[in-house]
DNA sequence: AGGCGTACTACGATAGTCGTAGTACGATAG
DNA sequence: CTATCGTACTACGACTATCGTAGTACGCCT
């Protein structure tokens, strides 16, 4: 079982979050679980990393937040939801393009052995 | 032309350096030029990043350094050469394995659009 | 003699991640 | 009815890789 170190994924945490928010607005705990699920348990983002990413990305205009109840009747504890902005969508697309290039570059330095 | 941001490559600078040192001992300036060439001009490591990577990796036992003249007759300015250690080779191999996993994980968060 | 390329070193700033800790609400089990 | 577990965060300081800027110094070519 190969562990993924965060220094590697660093630079793509934001992209992962934006990928999830591209489908629908969501909140911290749920995004964290989705990342784990989508990565097939191979990566889990740290809580502090996640929430500080929210702050940063909202400041950069990539996401917007609103506080709401989990269900329309107003039951349950309120959560902070985040949704992607137009800026965020563009940023996400740019990151995807960048990824294709980066992937190929790194690959050239990977030696396939036995 | 997509620019590669260093936060993305971060975590693979060491791997790139070790890849080059797997072939033969080398020194800063040359490694820097090789990285540029191998990446087909798409990535160039900053000098400060490179030299601080040397210090770190030597401390970690991944590389060893020796000072020598560029040619056997003792002409030219002396350079600090680095060579990969056994530890370094193992670390490099582990990084290559990690890469295969990481690549697949990130790929799941990349949406192919128009 | 001057400039370009080579080969570094120094140093402080920045920013993303991490560890640890603590709060607080709601649901469920005993 | 109380304790625990899961949910949903916030605070804060530490760490570290990268970066920007700057400066040194040698050798070679013109």
Residue B74 C-alpha, separation from nearest chain A C-alpha, in angstroms: 33
Residue B63 has pLDDT above 80, yes or no: yes
Contact A93 B106 (CB under 8 A): no
**Neighbour count for residue A33 (Cβ, 10 Å):** 12
Q: What is the pTM of this model?
A: 0.92
Residue B113 has pLDDT above 70, yes or no: no
Long-range Cβ pairs for the range A76-83 (8 Å, 24+):
A79/A27, A79/A28, A79/A29, A80/A27, A80/A28, A80/A54, A81/A25, A81/A26, A81/A27, A82/A21, A82/A25, A82/A26, A82/A27, A82/A31, A82/A54, A82/A58, A83/A21, A83/A25
pLDDT grade for B114, boundaries at 50, 70 and 90: very low
Which positions of chain A have pLDDT values less than 70? Answer: 1, 74, 112-114
Look at residues A77, A52, A49 and name the one whose alpha carbon lies nearest to residue A63. Answer: A52
Which domains occur in chain B, in start order?
9-105 (1.10.10.10)
pLDDT in tens, A10-35: 999 999 999 999 999 999 999 999 99
Residue B101 has pLDDT above 90, yes or no: yes
Q: What is the mean pLDDT of chain A?
A: 92
As a whole number, mean pLDDT of residues B43-65 equals 97
Residue numbers in B near A2 (CB within 8 A): 97-98, 100-101
Q: Does A3 touch chain B (CB under 8 A)?
A: yes
Higher-pLDDT residue of A67, B4? A67
């Amino acid at each position: 079982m190969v562990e993924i170190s965060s220094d590697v994924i660093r630079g793509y945490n934001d992209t992962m979050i934006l990928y999830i928010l591209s489908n629908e607005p969501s909140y911290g705990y749920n995004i964290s679980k989705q990342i784990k699920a989508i990565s097939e348990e191979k990566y889990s983002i740290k809580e502090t990393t996640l929430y500080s990413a929210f702050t940063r990305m909202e400041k950069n205009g990539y996401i917007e937040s609103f506080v709401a109840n989990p269900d329309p009747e107003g039951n349950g504890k309120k959560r902070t939801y985040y949704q992607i902005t137009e800026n965020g969508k563009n940023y996400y697309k740019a990151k995807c393009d960048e990824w294709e290039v980066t992937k190929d570059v790194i690959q050239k330095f990977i030696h396939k052995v036995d």
